Structure 1
Amino acid sequence: MPGKPLALVFASILFISSAAGADDPGHDGQRGDEPCPVGLVSGMDLNTEFGPGADAITRCLERRHKVRFLVQINRFCRDNVPDAQCAVGYGLRNLEKAIEDYEITHGMVAGRDYEIVAIAHDGGGKLMIKDEVKSYLPTGGNRFEGQIRALMAKGVKFYLCQNATRALIAAGLLTQGNVTNEIIPGTEFVTSAVTALADFQALGFRYVQP
């Protein structure tokens, strides 16, 4: 009978789709699918923190799986002050806040539900120099090394532009032939920040300027 094989085909498709959904680690009801907020960033519920009805007018993230987040860090300091006087590294606190929102508020997990890539270039390249190396320079040390290491431990991947690295070598901030020993462990290279930003976006990463 012609109708029966067709029905079997549709049934098979539905079965395969259901099985694939069950095996998808991003959609099993336990990975970022809980009602938002999953946790409380400040320890207070939204109405207590922001006023009556705040929970009803708060928009939570719709997409909580396979999120790919890309930033460029092109300055050493958030503020326009000499490096030695810098109190806040450029973009780092925003990355910390993004992770808090993903993990605490939305119950997402790094590597499973989201990825963050940071590309350091221009003045931001100095953030990737070890404090013990930079402390000997006239610009002072890198007090943000610990913050960057902590972000790496949370899954953020930092890439240093090789064009920016060449400029740092020319400026005497890094040593030709020894750069890999002078930058923070875990840092990787891209050949060019500009082309890497385009490449990561082509791979599905969403660009955000911190």
Structure 2
Amino acid sequence: MRNNKRPIALALAGLLILSLQGISTTAFAETSDSVANNTKPPLQITNQTGLKVAIQVNYADTVPNGISKQVLAAKNLYDQYTALGMKPGKDYEIVMVFRGDGAQFLLTDEAYDQKVKQPHPKGNPNLAILDALNKGGVKMEECAVAMKLKGYTPHDILPYSRIVTSGIGAMVDLEKSGYLSITP
């Protein structure tokens, strides 16, 4: 009985050794690739036409100078597309939907000073970036629900902003229309 088990045990031990050799080689190969990847140049955006992006701006988080982190993220995407020679309306479309606490970033300088409680420099510190994005073809929408909750009027928001009934509803509509929804 003892002799019958020995060939099976040897066969199992051999299979175990072979499988361990394969695992260690695979693990080494993955480690080698990941080390090499961090020395390669950054990957570029490969899809450069037909892009539709809806950026949700819904937080009041800012960098120390009062500029919205989400507005900066939108600017970074726009700058990347521009650097690649991509054309707004032809190669890509960007729509920014301001809702919730992010609604404050579409306020005029005067309204920003009157209605925003967090410390900030005089006027809306996001204005220069938003003006440049608007001139570059980026569309901006302001949530009417947030406006009502925060006491904003149409006169309080930037003139190139479009008021939408609901920011969340606008995000759903944009997504159903083929826009990729992002909340940076």
SS of residue matched to 2:76 = helix
Name the CA shift for 1:138/1:151 in 2 (closer, same or farther; >3 Å). closer
Name the CA shift for 1:136/1:78 in 2 (closer, same or farther; >3 Å). closer
Contact 1:73/1:90 (CA < 8 Å) preserved in 2? no
What is the CA RMSD across the aligned residues, in angstroms?
2.1
Task: Please report how far the alpha carbon of residue 146 of structure 1 lies from its aligned counterpart in structure 2 after TM superposition.
Answer: 2.1
**Which of the numbers 41, 59, 64 marks the counterpart of 2:48?**
64
Separation in 2 of the partners of 1:146 and 1:132?
A: 15
Partner of 1:117: 95
**Which of the numbers 68, 76, 80 marks the counterpart of 1:101?**
80
For 1:135, the aligned partner's letter is D
Separation in 2 of the partners of 1:89 and 1:110?
A: 23
For 2:60, the aligned partner's letter is F
For 2:40, the aligned partner's letter is A
Task: Please report how far the alpha carbon of residue 54 of structure 1 lies from its aligned counterpart in structure 2 after TM superposition.
Answer: 3.1
Separation in 2 of the partners of 1:54 and 1:88?
A: 32
Contact 1:121/1:164 (CA < 8 Å) preserved in 2? yes
**Which of the numbers 146, 150, 166 marks the counterpart of 1:164?**
146
State the Cα deviation string for residues 22-41 of structure 1 (Å, max 9, x = none): xxxxxxxxxxxxxxxxxxxx
Contact 1:78/1:90 (CA < 8 Å) preserved in 2? yes
Alignment of 1:3-18 (within 5 A): none
After superposing on structure 2, the runs of 4+ consecutive aligned residues of structure 1 that deviate more than 3 Å are: none
Matched, 1:76 2:60: yes
Partner of 2:175: 201
State the Cα deviation string for residues 68-111 of structure 1 (Å, max 9, x = none): 011110023336xxxxx75331311111111121121x221111
| Identity %, equivalent residues | 23
Separation in 2 of the partners of 1:65 and 1:112?
A: 7
Task: Please report how far the alpha carbon of residue 151 of structure 1 lies from its aligned counterpart in structure 2 after TM superposition.
Answer: 1.2
Higher relative contact order (CA 8 A, sep 6+): 2
Separation in 1 of the partners of 2:115 and 2:170?
A: 29
Q: TM-score, normalised by structure 2?
A: 0.70
How many positions carry a matched residue from both structures? 143
- Higher mean C-alpha displacement, 117-126 vs 129-138: 129-138
Partner of 2:6: none
Separation in 2 of the partners of 1:192 and 1:150?
A: 25
